[in-house]
Amino acid sequence: LLISGGKKWHQRRKIITPAFHFKILEQFVDVMESQGQILVKNLKKFDGMEFDVFPHVSLYAMDVICGNYN
């Protein structure tokens, strides 16, 4: 979906849109919150420093997707 364009993008977007409905996302609130707290704790280590946030956000996303409650 990220690299698709035109008709292909539109078709694929329509397919995944229901997965992001508010009622579906409610199921993930607890894990997003707990993982968000871990993410913030980890990012505070870099206070005032320049760093690449991408790996940290990627790990957060994977932990949410996998349902890790560390």
Tell me: the pLDDT tens digits for 44-55? Answer: 999 999 999 999
Cβ proximity of 25 and 1 under 8 Å: no
Percent of the chain with pLDDT over 70: 91
Residue reference for tokens 């993410």: 39
Q: Model pTM greater than 0.75? A: no
What pLDDT is attached to residue 70? 57
The number of residues making up the chain comes to 70
